Amino acid sequence: MSHAPTVNSLSNIYSLNVEAQSKRYAQLESRFAEIYGAKPDFIARAPGRVNIIGEHIDYCGFPVFPMAIAPDTLIAVRTNNTDCIQIANASPKYPARKFSLADLFTIDSTVHEWSNYFKCGYRGLFEHVGRTGGKGFDALLDGTVPAGGGLSSSAAFVCATELAVQRVNGIDLPQTELALIAASAERYVGVNSGGMDQTASIMGQQGSALFIEFDPELKATLVKMPDADPPLAFIIANTLVVSDKHVTAPICYNLRVVETRIGALILAKHLGITDRPACKN
């Protein structure tokens, strides 16, 4: 089973603008030191994703074909030898927060609060391994995935949190397990997430798309982009129209989850498929 990789060179992550990314990481470390008085121990990263084939079918168990993208969420981390976690954001739009370890298991999904996504990753990981908490640490987040832009900024946040928390606490779960935990954990904020976004963020690799299957179990197969001259490129256009999943979930995203499942049950009945557990229940 593959585990989350550790890299020492940004060229192993980014194929373009490595120098600009290097400055960004240096600025993150510098800002972390300004806030917390010391440099971070490490930086966790999880990218956003763009989907190529398979819209709104992952939560029905059908395969999808996304790929990870360069825009990402970074979380700089340093243990603080306390029973508290402090998290700040490089964007002044989001106020810093401080939590006791017990506070991180309480998530109010009715409140649109940026740190709830951090709590999702933390709570999901510890509930999965059967622990009630771990080490305290300081964290600083920097994200370049447009919020509400359809590129999975929330999944990148939750996945980066998982990677950070497991590193601090000496946990080392396989990538498939981390992806499944993240997909379930995002439901703490009221979103019936499928699993494509989190799998692409955790398991995506440079230069490849992912063919993701959910049945009978989660499986991600790398599909290398073909060589071409000029090189193959995907253009992702930001319309600047924001659709925040947390806000629109009750009338859009979550409703589509229900609609597709009802449609599947109608088809199953029409086709005489009645022996499956989902059809019986």
Please list the active-site residues.
197
Do the Cβ atoms of 243 and 51 come closer than 8 Å?
no
What's the number of CA atoms in the CB half-sphere (13 Å) around residue 234?
16
Which of 42, 47, 43 minimizes the C-alpha distance to 202? 47
Do the Cβ atoms of 132 and 223 come closer than 8 Å?
no
User: Beta 84-89 vs 137-143: how paired, if at all?
Assistant: parallel
260: left (phi over 0), alpha (psi -120 to 50) or beta: alpha
Place of tokens 């240096």: 26
CA torsion sign for 188, 220, 48, 171 is positive
- What are the backbone angles phi and psi of residue 229, rounded to the nearest 5°? -130, 105
Give the chain's count of helices (H) and strands (E). 8, 7
Which of 69, 62, 23, 67 minimizes the C-alpha distance to 45? 69
